């Protein structure tokens, strides 16, 4: 395990942020690895931005970037990845439905895979949210063959070199494990805790949990069929010429 940056996309989570930082501080204080936290303010219209600014002013382990408007989860994750300089990139939501402490169980797998993805085995969501997520996961897994049980689990660690090669588009956050697999990477799935939302409101409804993901899946299938992968087995024939030789 080398160093890790954990991306935290935030959109109007003022009621959760203080408790989220307490939970993240508890994880960071373990000092298991060199970990940084990067908040990505996705155009929040409440007090989230000012709260996060206080966090980074008083704790050097935290940093913040702020987007000019709300661009959606995929854009926020992409914006975060573009800033990461560490070997590994993590991702967690700020709504406290998952725990930073579960990252500890991920570390032992990082020597043998390029991504660790959580599985929320006991979901504490409303019935319609659980069922729509279950249907979407089953349909997606059958159609694209990624065998990922909970692709949208907001608790992930990805090797940064793989994360940077993901061709991002709106909705790609639903296919991050599959995109790592397309690059030849191995994805490990680990069971994590899940909790009821204590504050704030979910940003998703039945339409954007089923209709949107289905359209995104069709786009992903199109891209997968045209995705280019190649390996070079012999570089001995490549010659480098200096400018002096070219002039001569």
Domains of the chain: 4-232 (3.90.550.10)
What mean pLDDT value characterizes the chain?
A: 84
Q: What is the rounded distance in angstroms from the CA atom of residue 183 to the CA atom of residue 191? A: 24
DSSP state letter for 114: S
Listed as own residue / partner, the contacts of 79-82 with beta carbons closer than 8 Å and 24 or more positions apart are 79/40, 80/5, 80/7, 80/9, 80/38, 80/40, 81/7, 81/160, 81/163, 81/164, 81/166
Residue 142 pLDDT greater than 70, yes or no: no
Whose tokens are 């012999």? That residue is 234
Q: What is the mean pLDDT of residues 120-131?
A: 64
Coil vs helix vs strand at 127: helix
Sheet holding 35-41, edge to edge: 62-66, 35-41, 4-10, 88-92, 155-159, 115-120, 187-192
What the block records as the tokens of 143 is 């159609």
Residue 175 pLDDT greater than 60, yes or no: yes
pLDDT category of residue 184 using cuts at 50, 70 and 90: very high
Instruction: Say which range, 116-125, 182-191, 213-222, has the weakest mean pLDDT.
Output: 213-222
pLDDT, tens only, 31-76 = 888 999 999 999 999 999 999 999 999 999 999 999 999 999 999 9
Q: What is the rounded distance in angstroms from the CA atom of residue 48 to the CA atom of residue 141? A: 35
More confident residue, 6 or 140: 6
pLDDT category of residue 245 using cuts at 50, 70 and 90: very low
Instruction: Say which range, 26-40, 64-78, 149-163, 198-212, has the weakest mean pLDDT.
Output: 198-212
Residue 2 pLDDT greater than 80, yes or no: no
What percent of the chain is predicted at pLDDT more than 90?
Answer: 57
pLDDT at 73: 94
pLDDT at 146: 80
């Amino acid at each position: 395990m080398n160093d890790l940056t954990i991306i935290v996309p935030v959109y109007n989570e003022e009621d959760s942020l203080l408790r989220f930082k307490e939970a993240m501080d508890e994880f960071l204080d373990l000092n298991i690895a060199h970990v940084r936290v990067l908040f990505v303010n996705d155009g929040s219209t409440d007090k989230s931005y000012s709260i996060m600014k206080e966090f980074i002013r008083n704790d050097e382990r935290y940093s913040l970037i702020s987007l000019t408007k709300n661009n959606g989860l995929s854009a926020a994750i992409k914006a975060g990845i573009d800033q990461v300089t560490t070997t590994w990139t993590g991702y967690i939501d700020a709504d406290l439905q998952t725990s930073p402490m579960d990252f500890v169980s991920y570390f032992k797998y990082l020597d043998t895979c390029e991504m660790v993805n959580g599985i929320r085995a006991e979901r504490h969501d409303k019935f319609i949210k659980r069922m729509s997520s279950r249907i979407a996961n089953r349909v997606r897994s059958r159609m694209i063959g990624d065998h990922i049980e909970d692709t949208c689990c907001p608790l992930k660690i990805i090797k940064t070199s793989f994360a940077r090669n993901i061709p991002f588009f709106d909705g790609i956050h639903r296919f991050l494990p599959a995109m790592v697999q397309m690059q030849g990477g191995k994805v490990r799935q680990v069971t994590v805790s899940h909790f009821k939302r204590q504050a704030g409101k979910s940003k998703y409804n039945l339409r954007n949990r089923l209709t949107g993901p289905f359209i995104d899946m069709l786009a992903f299938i199109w891209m997968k069929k045209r995705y280019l992968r190649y390996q070079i087995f012999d570089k001995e024939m490549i010659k480098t010429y200096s400018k002096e030789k070219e002039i001569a």
